[in-house]
Each structure stands twice: as structure tokens, then as C-alpha cells.
Structure 1
Amino acid sequence: RVPAEVNHAALSSIKQDAKRLARGQTGDGPNTLGVLAALAYPDRVALRRKGDAPRYVMSGGKGAILSESDPLAGERLLVATDLDGDPREARIRQAARLSDSDLRGSFADQIGWHKLCVWSRREGRVLARQQERFGALVLDDRAWSDAPAEDIAQAMLDGVRQLGLMPGKAAALFLARARLMGDDFPDFSEDHLLETLEDWLPGHLAGVRSTADWKAFDLLPALTARLSWDDQQALDRAAPAHFTTPLGRKIAIDYSETQPQIALRLQEVFGTTRHPMIAGQPLQITLLSPAQRPVQVTTDLPGFWAGSYADVRKDMRARYPRHPWPEDPTQADPTLRAKPRGT
């Protein structure tokens, strides 16, 4: 091993290769073992990884490990002159020490600074860094504090692909409505949205660069921006976000199940003789008592009035005598009022 024991045959080969590579150079040329080895094996220049174990990454991109008992185990830079050939993490059987100045002096034209914005799956955030590299080796690494917003947004797209869309309540409602539309409507399936992120999301990602940011992000403006004015009008007609009751109250329609649905007080739909339709199917209505407890679920109000309403009325009159329970609800006015006490 170097420096305890030199393999003279390997060293001779290294010197011959180094002389061949250095023929076109001016001056005296390289004269240290590390430089000679690096010139002979430029893809085997190795940089020690972080941690206690003497593990290295080589300039060609492969990993290598040195015995902890090797005299070179503490070196930051070295050149692996003999490896055991393991494709995953080769064991270094012989190496030469290489100084930082020798590396820079010998490969100045191959060392440069690179700027990068990347999504870190391990850290769950966008990393914006400036790195000085020689091949796969990162010789210096610094924060890139003024990275352009466009670069950060592009990197964040990889985070979105990993995390999924994660829509909030309003965005989830919009998606459920949009997915009820036909083939002529823009595709809002999750697969399509993730496949086309570059087309609709980057311009909305200002300030978003971590998992926490994405969880708090309001996806709705970016989604609705995909619609033309005509598309938005068509959506509001076919799958409205709210149902307007006979009293003018707006109730959000729940599209999360197989059928659009709402819940409201039974007396608020007195006088309704045609069941409301949403997105081409009956709206599922949960009718509530004055105490806001479900008393009936129906997709056919006229059928309910003509059928089981009589039994419901009998029960409700006993429980809530101050509230109106007309015999013919189709002729009654909708109300949320109760009779004054004492009447």
C-alpha cells in the first residue's frame, strides 16, 4: 500500500502514462506521485465523503472505500490506482495522496462553478446551490441565495410529482365538479395534471419551495386559470358549486361521492315540486329536522311528498310542535321560522 509499500510495476505504468499525457505541456511537467496518478487515471480522483468511514466518490461517479487501517484513510483527496472491481462500491487496494493545489493545477480547465436548483426527496425542499466541480466531485458547495424564481419553480415541480396535488377543500370541490364534465372539457384527472405540470403550474409557485409550503398552497387559482371564460360558464351551469334554496340561501354542493349532495332543513324545500338536477343526475338531498338531524335522504322530492312524508310529518309534529308541518307540503311556502311561543 502507498505510502507503506509501493507497487513498482504499477508506479512504472503510471509514470509512462503520465509522461504520455504531459508531452504537450510546457515547463517541467508533473513530478509528484499523486499528480502522475491523476493524469493517468483522471476518473479515479477520489474525494472523501462526509462521515467517519473512509468512503470516497470518484470523479468518474463511482463509489469506493478504503480500509480504515490504511495510512491514507484520513485524506480528503487521493487517486485510486488499484481497485477490486466491485461495481457498487469498489475497495481501494492502492492509492496515492493528492493535494487540492495539485488537483487544481493539473485540471484547471476542467474545474468550474455550476449553479443548480434541485428538489431533495430526503429533505423535502428545493436546494439552490452553487458548486465547484471536477467531474462528479463537489470541491466546494455554497448556498445560491439569489436563485431565480423560475429555477426554483421548475425544481419544485419534481416535489409536486413526489408529493401529489394535495388540493385543499375548495380545490378538491372544483376538481370533483370539473371531472363530471364531458370529453370536450379540459382534462382535470390527476394523472393528466401531473403529466402537464409545466404547462399550468410554474407561474403560480412564487414562494413555494418545501413540503410545508406545498401543503399550505391554494391550488384553486392555478386550476381555474386553465379554463376559458366559456369553459367556466359551462362548468357553472352543468355542475354549480352551490345550490340556491327557495329562500335564496346558497349551500355548497358536495361532489366527493358518486352523486352530488346537499343537506338542508326539510321546511326549506316546501313548495318544491320538481327535484333539482345537477350534472345530469338528481341532487341527493338529506332533509334535516329543526334540530339539524337527518330525517330522510331522497333523490325524488315529489315522490317523498306523496309517500313517506306523511309518516315523517306525524313524527315531526310530535317532536317539534312549534314548526309548521302542512298536510300538503307542495302548496306550502318554504320557511325556517317557528311559531312564536304561546301560539
Structure 2
Amino acid sequence: MRSFMPPLPVDAQLPELLAALSASTRCVLEAPPGAGKTTRVPLALLEAEWLAGRSIVMLEPRRMAARNAARYMASLLGEDVGRTVGYRVRLDSRVGPATRIVVVTEGILTRMLQDDPELSGVGCLIFDEFHERSLHADLGLALALDCQEGLRETLRILVMSATLDAASILALLERNFSGPVPSLRSEGRAWPVETRYLPPARADRPLERDVAEAVRRALREETGSVLVFLPGVGEIRKVEALLQDIRSDTVRLCPLYGDLSLAEQDAAIAPLPSPLRKVVLATSIAETSLTIEGVRVVVDAGLSRTLRFDAGSGMSRLVTGRVSLAAAAQRRGRAGRTEAGVCYRLWHEGEEPGMAAHARPEILEADMAPLCLELAVWGVAHPSALRWLDEPPEEGVRQALALLRGLGAVD
């Protein structure tokens, strides 16, 4: 039995979405943060006639988001995770014989497709938060379209995003497709967020000191918990050390990043009774598909760390750079999920016209060797045999294929 579901903006689009997927095997849903797409859509599709008892597999870019989405949907059904709703992530799986909705991370989806190219027990693939454009998400969509066209015409593919370039994804989905692909848009739900700019006083001052000072100011000026965005674990540990003196009976410091244990991640996102407050020191893991209860203040250092392939050295390296405007908007929105909030940005407002609108897709920056190896397993000699939102760079592909041939991995 379903528990009470508070109304969310995406509810208004659910009848239209069900009708669209009944008439078409491909669909795009654009829904800003707070619309409820991640947890409402899979549950709404469960009873669709075209699903015919098959399962729904939903792709989430991050392990923590996958686990929490599954838990929340299970709670709405009044069940434990692993019954109707489960998840599969690296080194952790909660599924059972009755599971109909499986939330998976990107590498898991690739393995599922490689192990069973027909996805015989799956009726619908949902690509959530597709705007993050990870390499595995692009690969998963390319393989899913190939599966649908060659093996499973009835497989439904739904692409969902908060900040999607709908025209580009529609053009991709409509190639070699018999008819237009439905595209729906939902309104988001967010409380107003005031933006305050706190640029560094000195260019040579360590980032961590500016962040710690901004956190102290936020605790003085505002109520509620504070979510801090930092580029990596090293910066999180340094800021945590600088803020040890704020720990008290009412303020708790909680790091949040992907390599923490499940218990430590749960502690960072769990709600606290008033008047307790949290300061959550997070990487970009907290940008999307995750609501941290009690947070109404965001401190954004404005930086992110990404893996970038250097063709000259043949090695990948982590690069720290300014976030895109889209990522900054996602971070700012975390302050307005449950009530009106405040976002402190640690840069000059005048810098924003020079910031990139979106982050570059990983497929344009990554080492192509793992991608080409996966495609070889799929039976494809070159990425050009499949369809991509952004074509893999030819020079990177040539270098990757030469490496794989030299290693004897492909013939």
C-alpha cells in the first residue's frame, strides 16, 4: 500500500507521460530541480500496460543518489528497499525476486547491457540527470538505442534531465526513428534563494581559509544547516580541520564524498532535530538528485575537479577548474529545496559572464581506450557505428585503438 505522497510539480505531467510512452518507445522529460521526477516517474510507470510485468531500470550518475532514490521510493510504497524497489551499485546490491524498479549506477548499466544485449526482462530504461553527461551515460544511451533498433523494438527509453539541451537530445533520438519523439516539460519546485557574493580578499590566500570564514559568517547570519561545495577530499579535510572549534552540542561537521562508508554518507544527509545544525562539507556529489534535510544555506567555492585525458602523455589527470553556470545554479538550488535560503558564492559577480554555460561532456575529455574496449565487447569496431550526442574525438579513438591492438586486447 502506498503511503501519503505530498504533491509535486511533476505529478501534473504524469498522465501525459504515460500516454506518450504508450504511443512511442522514446520520450524526453525536462524537469528542473524539485519537480520530483526521480522518485515519482518510475512509480507512476509501474502499472503501465506496455510494461507487461517487466522491470524498470533507472540510471543514476552517483551511488549515493541511487541508494537514496530507491530507499525513498520504497518508503512511499510502505516497503523495505529490495522488495518492489531496489538498487544495484558497485559493491552493494539490494534486489529480490519481486523487484520491479532497479536504480543502478552507470557502470552497472553497461554490464547489464553487455551481459544481456536484449535486456529481456526490462521494459523501460530511464536515464536520469542526463545533463551530467558522464562517459558511461553517453555509452549506455548509445548501446540502449542500438539494442532497441536491432533487438527490442518495444523497449521504452526515457531521458530525464534538469538542464537538458532538449533540441540536441531530440535530434539524436529521432534519427532512424519512425516519427517525432515526445518531449515534455515540468515546472520545478524551489523556494527563493538570495545570492550573496564573497570574493576572496587576497588572491594568494588559501581557498580553505576563505571557505571556513564564509561558513562562520553563514552560521552567524542565518539559521538552518549549511552545505559547502568544495572541489575534492583534500580541501574538505583542510576546511574540516579549520572548523574544529565550531563543533558543539548544536553544530555538527559532516564530510560527504563518494568514498565514504555508507554509514558516514547516511550521517551527512540524515535529518537532525531542532535546534541541531549541520555543516556538510561536500564534493559535487551533492549537486543533483539529493536533498539534505534542514539545509537552507549553501557556501559554494566555485570549483570542481574532473578527470581529463592528456593525449601527449597518454595519461589521465585530475584538473581543478571553475564550475559552469549550470553547475553553479544546481548548487545554489540546494538552498531552496525545503524553504527559502541563501547562497554564498566565493567569487565576483562580474566573473559570471566569462564562465562556461555547461561543463564539457566527459566523452570529449576522457581516455577513449575503455570506451573502445566496451564497444569491441558489444561487437562494434569503431564508435562511428553507433549514434552519440557528441561524437568521440577521432584522434583519441585512433590512439585508443592503437593501444588496444598493441596490448592484444582487440584484433
**TM-score range relative to shorter protein:** under 0.3
Larger RCO: 1 or 2 (CA < 8 Å, sep 6+)? 2
Quick check: which has more Rg, 1 or 2?
1
Where is the helix percentage greater, Structure 1 or Structure 2? 2
Normalized against structure 1, the TM-score is what? 0.19
Taking structure 2 as the reference length, what is the TM-score of the superposition? 0.17
